[in-house]
Chains A and B, each alone.
Chain A
Amino acid sequence: MQVDFHGREITVKLVYYGPALSGKTTNLQAIHQLVTAETAGRLMTLETRDDRTLFFDLLPLTFSGGKNLQVRFKLFTVPGQVMHNATRRLVLQGADGTAFIADSQKTETKANQQAFLNMRENLSENGIDPDSHPVVIQFNKRDLPGVRTDAEIDRMASKGREPVFKAVAIRGVGVIETFLGLTELTWRHLEAKHQLHEKFGLEPEEFLSTVRERLGIGRAAE
């Protein structure tokens, strides 16, 4: 998180992580399409060999009523190919929350596991404690054959501490839920760490309902 006390602006960085071809880019593209045009900045694509890093800004949400605070989100994806580890680590710098996009196909289990370990390793390398860092997990590509069943995922999810979402990002299903889940988890984490409520007079509940409303997400999800 970057805080500009003078300009009363908070910037929150969210990163979409995961193995190659799990649908990180598709997630970001879907969010970009679903939020209202005024709120999303341009989607920027940085090409790396056989892969890409995507990012865009969600333009500032202004909280008035004496708070006079602006909150902006920056959304990034990392290149998933194994060879781009250095880039992945760079993009992960200063991340406030991470959505881990897993491929639901059983054949991808190993790739998911490796990418997850790699994420934890890179968080540590960046001086971020992976155990306290806000992470949500999305099982993407639910519409494909050969995927883990919902029951299987639910059973496994109940053992873990990360919120788990199911999605078909290519059709926009579950994408917003994942984003909101990540936003909520991240904001609550930042609240606990930096007492934003105390400093800026912004209640977490108020913040989250404003995010939904301003991004036009309520409408988009209908």
Chain B
Amino acid sequence: MTAPSTEAAGFDIALGDIADLSEVVDREALRDICRSFFDLFNLSVRIYAADDTLLASVSEPAELYTYLQKFPKGRKVVSETVDQVKRTRPTDSSVLRHQTIMGIVYDVVPITYQGRPVGRFVIGPFVPAELEQVPKALVRLDPNLDRLEVRDLLMKLPRVRANTAERITSHLRGVLDLLLFSSHRAHLTSEMHVASVRESYRELAEKTSKLQHAYDRLKELDQLKSNFLATVSHELRTPLTSIIGYSEMLEANIAGELTGEQREFVETIHQKGNQLLGLISSLLDLSKLEQGVMRLTLSDADPKAVIGDLASTFLPHAMKREIAIETACEEGLPTLRVDPLRLKQILSNLAENAIKFSADGGTVRFAARYTDWEDDADGAGAVLMGSSRGAVAFDVVDTGIGMRASELEKIFDAFYQVDGSATREHGGTGLGLSIVKRLVEAHGGNISVTSTYGEGTTFTVTIPEPEE
């Protein structure tokens, strides 16, 4: 009928039964018990499993049997006895006494556990203490038997009183029962623990696979989003190019002279069109970078020239707000292999932010210095794993509003802005830094930021030296 239903654990604790001694008891332990029993009572003991397997045996060969085996009938009687004892199986919980014509007896004792037979033990051969004479049937086995010899050998076998035999068997039963109980408990405990661990593992594996599935799905959606962004940006650019182109032509009076107000409107269209184009280009850059299809056109760049170029580009802009621009460049910096346009895009973006967030009359500093290139290796085997490459660090330092530590973690995420109101006050899309970060990484470099709230921020872009 109903079998225990959950196969998952591969273990049936449903009923906690044992069907056989050998399932739970260590054979060595059984042998030790037999041995101590033998030492104590000088009686041979054999323990059998329910399926007749001999699990333990400690016995002394009976000299009488050795003697009898010299005679054909004696040999037959001995072998029959041994065979019959082996085949004797108690049907209930009482002790079976196996009698032989030799006067020798064996006690076959069932071992039950939780009311079920799980095996048996055999005590003997021994001679009941009540036996006084050599049985006639034994002497008549062969005319050549030496009566005195037979008598001596029979008397050499252990002699046991009936009530002593009972006490001895009940003692061994008790010992075996205890041994079975503790073994059974240990067996069940360990089985249950293993099964519980497997069960927990199965549960975790299931959850992990669900999470993995959800993660894969998200990744897929993210990819779709990037594709969508790329397509849309591209499609948006085409009509925008016309808008910008035609507004330029209008401004150039190609379609006739414009009035002052008309010119002002067209200029606004042109200007906002360019702004929109910049935003769309950023989106396109971002999706290209995300998909890893951004191509870099590498050439040599001198860090000193990079800093100089940056300063001269931003000087007019800074002067409008009376912000001072300082530059600092170490001598003898190595030449870098970069995409110069992209490097300029990176530093310009940082510089723009630095000026944007500095108060009027503040200071912005551009610097380039030599530094060790820190690989990802976390120190383990650094001597082997690290490289001796150097790098150039570009610092962009402002004396602006600064950021809180909690904000620093997110500033490189796309569309993140420290403060939504900053967008309205300072403009920007929230795309700049995420693009900067990806562009730096595309160069094999890294970007870091330190900031003190209210005092200013330092962005550091580190680009490694080309490998030798």
Contacts and interface: CB of A to CB of B under 8 A. Distances in A.
Interface stretch (B68-76, B186-194, B354-362): B186-194
Contact of A94 (B11, B14, B115, B203): B14
Given A55-B16, A86-B199, A2 B115 contact: no
Contacts, number: 80
A94 B16 CA distance: 11
B121 to A, nearest CB: 20
Interface in B1-46: 1-6, 9, 11-16
A1 interface: yes
Contact of B184 (A44, A60, A87, A128): A44
Interface stretch (A46-54, A99-107, A211-219): A46-54
A84 interface: yes
Interface in A20-74: 41-42, 44-48, 53, 55, 57, 59-60, 72, 74
B13 A86 contact: no
A90 interface: yes
A91 interface: yes
B204 to A, nearest CB: 10
A76 to B, nearest CB: 8
B139 interface: no
B196 interface: yes
Closest 6 CB pairs of A and B: A94-B14, A86-B199, A127-B5, A94-B4, A86-B196, A87-B196
A118 interface: no
B167 to A, nearest CB: 21
Interface in A76-112: 76, 84-87, 89-91, 93-94
A47 B9 CA distance: 19
Nearest to A5: B1
A91 B13 contact: yes
A6 interface: no
A94 B4 CA distance: 5
Contact of A41 (B1, B11, B115): B115
Given A13-B15, A86-B203, A93-B14, 7 more contacts: A3-B1, A11-B15, A42-B181, A47-B189, A89-B6, A94-B4, A94-B15
Contacts of B189: 46-47
A20 B13 CA distance: 21
B133 interface: no
A55 B184 CA distance: 12
A87 B192 contact: yes
A138 B71 CA distance: 75
Contacts of B197: 86
A11 B116 CA distance: 13
A125 interface: yes
A159 interface: no
Given A55-B16, A126-B6, A90 B192 contact: yes
Contact of B196 (A59, A72, A90, A128): A90
Contacts of B195: 86, 90
A155 interface: no
A44 B188 CA distance: 10
A222 B219 CA distance: 70
B259 interface: no
B207 interface: no
A208 to B, nearest CB: 21
Contact of B6 (A2, A3, A125): A125
A126 B181 contact: no
Contact of A1 (B1, B114, B185, B188): B1
Contacts of B203: 86
B1 A126 contact: no
A46 B185 contact: yes
A1 B115 contact: no
A161 interface: no
Interface string A1-19: 1110000000101000000
B253 interface: no
A93 B12 contact: yes
A46 B14 CA distance: 14
25 contacts: A1-B2, A2-B2, A41-B114, A42-B181, A44-B185, A45-B185, A46-B192, A53-B192, A59-B114, A74-B15, A86-B195, A86-B196, A86-B203, A87-B199, A89-B199, A90-B6, A90-B195, A93-B4, A93-B5, A93-B6, A93-B14, A94-B5, A94-B12, A125-B6, A127-B5
